[in-house]
């Protein structure tokens, strides 16, 4: 089975994508198209034509338009009627043909939930499946249709993933941001492969994979997620080097490329490894920084092969300017 290596690329990062990058990738997900007035809106991707160059550099590369993202609304209202779903699907097909995309990736965050300040309705659960069916009918059987799925039991309650998986080519699991957010929380790994010792949270990549499999998603249709950015937790306790200690929040930290040796020295950080979670963190006595180290990314790749998953995707390409993490993924999944 060919292993997929998918990189999400935002418009702000697209000019930095190199010939060597696309030769290491099997798929590029361009982020993001939006839903506006019930139709596809491409205004957030002004440099989308550059993607044609990627396919000249690597003719085997698949370029997929990702629609949605955190805080991107319009899905619920559009998907409420058959006419709305069909009109949106037709607008996606038009963009696919115009820009020579290989398919569409739906990143609705999230059906049935207004936590991101978007329109939502309990009927989203069924309408999510119906929207995917409308897109499949419009795109045809030979174009890619995928989704980015929240790494939680809630997402499974909000969707019909067993039915969706039969329509989709693959499901990308957003196995990051699994810990943190606004308000009091527990400092820990936001993209852990497994649970830390003593961790009561059920949210880790291995557990999420089994949840989705139990919900009807075949292993070979799952793509595991990796994070090219960190999360920072302010912690008052020095116990366990901050791990699993009460924190005030878990806000976004630097991208992987920003966690330089100079940045660490200036702030007094030392790096540690959690063998149980197969995840790294930084600690300086006051702040806990969760991030994906090269070793952690390698462990995720090994798990992908061990469990028979389709591949690995990451958010976001610009977060790894040295391509250290991408190189590990490419070497691990193409050997």
Q: What is the pLDDT along the chain (335 residues), one digit of tens a residue?
A: 899 999 999 999 999 999 999 999 999 999 999 999 999 999 999 999 999 999 999 999 999 999 999 999 999 999 999 999 999 999 999 999 999 999 999 999 999 999 999 999 999 999 999 999 999 999 999 999 999 999 999 999 999 999 999 999 999 999 999 998 777 899 999 999 999 999 988 899 999 999 999 999 999 999 999 999 999 999 999 999 999 999 988 999 999 999 999 999 999 999 999 999 999 999 999 999 999 999 999 999 999 999 999 999 999 999 999 999 999 999 999 97
pLDDT of residue 280: 98
* pLDDT at position 335: 72
User: Does 237 reside within a domain?
Assistant: no
CA distances 93 to 107, 156, 274, Å, are 17, 27, 45
Give, in degrees to the nearest 5, the angle at Cα 329 between 150 and 68.
30
Query: Token pair of 150, please?
Result: 């929240």
Q: What is the pLDDT of residue 249?
A: 86
Helix, strand, or coil here: 281? strand
User: Which among 129, 62, 29, 134 is positioned nearest to 91, based on CA atoms?
Assistant: 134
User: Angle, to 10 degrees, between the axis of helix 124-139 and the axis of helix 82-99?
Assistant: 40
Let me know if residue 274 belongs to a domain: no
**Which are the catalytic amino acids?**
109
Q: Is position 71 within any domain? A: yes
Task: Report if residue 307 sits inside a domain.
Answer: yes
pLDDT the model gives residue 289: 98
Is residue 277 in some structural domain? Answer: no
The domain in which residue 116 lies consists of: 4-227+292-333
Q: Is residue 115 part of a domain?
A: yes
Contact 264, 282 (CB under 8 A): yes
User: Which segments of 144-268 are extended strands (E)?
Assistant: 144-150, 170-174, 185-186, 222-227, 229-234, 246-247, 251-255
DSSP 141-166: TTSEEEEEEESSHHHHHHS-HHHHHH
How many domains does one find in the chain? 1
Q: Which of 92, 168, 97 is nearest to 128 (CA)?
A: 168
Rounded Cα distance between 79 and 124, Å, is 8
- Residue 64, domain member (yes or no): yes
Estimate the crossing angle of helix 294-307 against helix 324-333, to 10 degrees.
20
Q: Distance (Å, rounded) from C-alpha 276 to C-alpha 39?
A: 45
Q: How far apart are CA 154 and CA 265, in angstroms?
A: 40
- CATH number, domain containing residue 194: 3.20.20.80
Is 84 within 8 Å of 45 (Cβ atoms)?
no
- Residue 243: per-residue pLDDT: 97
For residues 49 and 30, the answer to whether their CB atoms sit within 8 Å is: no
Instruction: Examine residue 256 and state whether it is found in any structural domain, yes or no.
Output: no
């Amino acid at each position: 089975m060919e292993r997929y290596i998918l990189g999400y690329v935002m418009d702000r990062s697209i000019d930095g994508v190199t010939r060597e990058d696309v030769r290491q990738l099997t798929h590029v997900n361009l982020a993001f198209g939006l839903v506006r007035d019930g139709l596809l809106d491409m205004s957030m991707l002004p440099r989308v034509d550059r993607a044609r160059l990627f396919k000249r550099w690597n003719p085997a590369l698949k370029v997929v338009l990702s629609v949605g993202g955190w805080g991107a609304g319009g899905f619920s209202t559009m998907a409420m009627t058959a006419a709305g779903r069909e009109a949106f699907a037709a607008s996606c097909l038009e963009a696919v043909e115009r820009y020579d995309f290989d398919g569409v990736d739906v990143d609705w965050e999230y059906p049935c939930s207004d936590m991101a300040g978007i329109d939502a309705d309990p009927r989203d659960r069924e309408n999510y499946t119906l929207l995917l069916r409308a897109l499949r009918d419009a795109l045809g059987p030979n174009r890619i249709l995928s989704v980015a799925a929240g790494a939680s039991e809630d997402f499974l309650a909000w969707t019909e993933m067993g039915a969706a998986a039969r329509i989709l080519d693959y499901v990308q699991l957003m196995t990051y941001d699994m810990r943190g957010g606004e308000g009091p929380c527990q400092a820990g790994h936001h993209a852990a492969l497994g649970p830390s010792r003593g961790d009561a949270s059920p949210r880790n990549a291995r557990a999420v994979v089994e949840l989705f499999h139990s919900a009807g998603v075949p292993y070979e249709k799952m793509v595991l997620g990796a994070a090219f950015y960190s999360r920072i937790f302010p912690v008052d306790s020095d116990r366990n080097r901050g791990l699993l200690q009460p924190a005030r929040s878990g806000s976004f930290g630097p991208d992987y490329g920003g966690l330089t040796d100079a940045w660490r020295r200036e702030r007094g950080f030392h790096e540690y490894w959690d063998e149980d979670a197969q995840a790294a963190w930084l600690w300086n006595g006051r702040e806990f920084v969760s991030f994906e180290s090269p070793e952690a990314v390698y462990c995720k790749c090994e798990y992908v092969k061990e469990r028979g998953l389709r591949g690995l995707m990451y958010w976001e390409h610009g977060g790894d300017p040295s391509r250290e993490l991408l190189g590990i993924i490419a070497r691990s999944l193409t050997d």
